[in-house]
A and B are shown apart, each in its own frame.
Chain A
Amino acid sequence: METTLIEKLPEVTWVGSLIKAVLILAIISALAGFGTFIERKVLAFMQRRLGPMHVGYYGLLQIAADGIKLFTKEDIIPQNANKLIFMIAPVITAATAFIALAAVPVFPDFTIPSWIPLLGDTFVPSIASDLNIGILFVLGMMAAGLYGPLLAGMSQANKWGIIGAARTAVQFLSYEVVTGLSILAPIMLVGSLSFIDFNTYQAGGIGDWLIWKQPVAFVLFLIAGFAETNRTPFDLLEHEAEVVSGYATEYSGMRWGMFFIGEYANMITVSVIASIVFLGGYDVASMFGWFFIMAKIALFFFLMLWVRAAWPHVRPDQLMWLCWKVLMPLAVVNILITALVMMV
């Protein structure tokens, strides 16, 4: 494996991009599945339980069992549902989640060894598509993901679904504002929308990390990220105690599984963005650069689980109050202060 500096990048062929895309799809969906396993385990430990133990060593193959189960379950579509939309909605969630990952550097770039037939010497880049508006694209795609739950909830002819859909619209739209505003300050500092530029900006070591320059933006982004990915304490869309399963009430089998994969893919995306934007990203020069970014992503992922184990839900009205009366003003203030500092 060889890591190259941006300047020395060989030409990215369409074959390389395709391979990368397939890799992201395969590995992230596997990771999403693995994420469920990790989540169950971590929550279990925090509750002094063992979690899944019996399928495979230490329950490692539980994900395989769950996958088989989800795949083989009967595909039920409610009688009064809008069938087409009902069937498409989960795909939207999963698709937007993976599309967002297209602009995120996920794994190191590498060249396929020349002795492999057909694909030999193909360069596989770290980013499937290094857009110059990377962050904007990712945020945009994640925002588009709101159509998944929204359409799902509205198409299924179920009152819990409708409520879930309404909450989706309210929550995702509101927090989109916070996400955008919070990340605007770092973008102003870096002056680029490319993740590579963010990485480069912070390449100087821990001291250069944006989290020190933009602590408020970091906290705001994190909170908004929780809301965007529908995680506790903001998982109002499918809050069991209130709306049964919200937008996913009527879903089962693989369709429901796609929501799940989308959610976990989003979690990974948010973790990756947070790592790159605020925690210095990957160290291109170091052999362990990729290891470190993995550790950072894992840290954020773990944080999400940890929070779920520790904190209670908020009420929808508290959620709105928090968004519009606290977070959004704070973000605006943060941008103003950043701008002022930059001007001065």
Chain B
Amino acid sequence: MGLEQFKNRNVGTQNYTMVDAGHSPKGVLCQFKQVVKRTFKGELFVGLWVTMKAMLKALFANDMHTVKYPFEKLPISPRYRAIHDMLRLLESGHYRCIGCGLCEKICISNCITMDTRYDENQRKEVSEYTINFGRCIFCGYCAEVCPELAIVHGSRYENASEQRAGFSLFEDMLTPIDKLNLQQEYSGFGSVSPNADDNIKQTPLAY
């Protein structure tokens, strides 16, 4: 797609549709006629009726738009990027994070830090992990780059805090082990696309 249409800033030649704003009355008589016409046309009552109708619908037809926010919450899109969650493997319950450090590397606001070590099972273990939500801009790169779908964006968007720096540790974000059955598979930013299989080449296997 070319950028011509964006680069053409000569607004005068574009195809604007002029709204029919009528024409101003000329002369005292015309003005008077307009006043009379408008006065007795009852436009003002149309306005009154519209608001009244809205009120009646709101009160009696359950058309109230208010969400009592702290007590009620609207569902958010899976692509919404709120406070991060750390997911577990459903089969074993072990956390998914392998400590690769890609999120730490890609983070453009430099808010992710992690310590890793060689554990007893000869695996890389995340010994500590923290996100500084005072710096996080919720760009979603960490979730997108994560090869294990371990760090994802969750649905907690209330991140007001008393201090500028607010740190979340690994355990704070990790799915509690007793709530593993409630863990939702992530379908937002950085998740596997439904047609991912079509986009990769198969590697032959000797088994």
Contact = CB atoms under 8 A, between A and B. Distances in A.
Contact of A311 (B47, B57, B66): B47
A46 B55 CA distance: 4
B38 to A, nearest CB: 12
Interface residues of B, number: 17
A311 B50 CA distance: 11
Interface string B19-55: 0000000000000000100000000100110111011
B72 to A, nearest CB: 11
A56 B50 CA distance: 30
A55 B126 CA distance: 48
A50 B59 CA distance: 9
What DSSP secondary structure best describes chain A's contact surface?
A: helix
Interface in A33-50: 42, 44-50
A290 interface: no
B44 A311 contact: yes
Contacts of A47: 54
Contacts of B55: 42, 45-46
B47 A310 contact: yes
B48 A50 contact: no
Contacts of A27: none
B179 interface: no
B112 to A, nearest CB: 39
A321 to B, nearest CB: 9
A164 to B, nearest CB: 26
A46 B64 contact: no
Interface in B53-109: 54-55, 57-59, 63-66, 68
A306 interface: yes
A50 B68 contact: yes
26 contacts: A44-B66, A45-B54, A45-B55, A45-B59, A46-B54, A46-B55, A46-B58, A47-B54, A48-B57, A48-B64, A49-B64, A49-B65, A50-B64, A50-B68, A53-B68, A306-B48, A306-B51, A307-B48, A309-B51, A310-B44, A310-B48, A310-B50, A310-B51, A311-B44, A311-B47, A311-B48
Given A46-B55, A48-B54, A50-B66, 5 more contacts: A45-B55, A46-B52, A47-B54, A48-B58, A311-B47
Interface of B: 35, 44, 47-48, 50-52, 54-55, 57-59, 63-66, 68
Interface of A: 42, 44-50, 53, 306-307, 309-311, 326
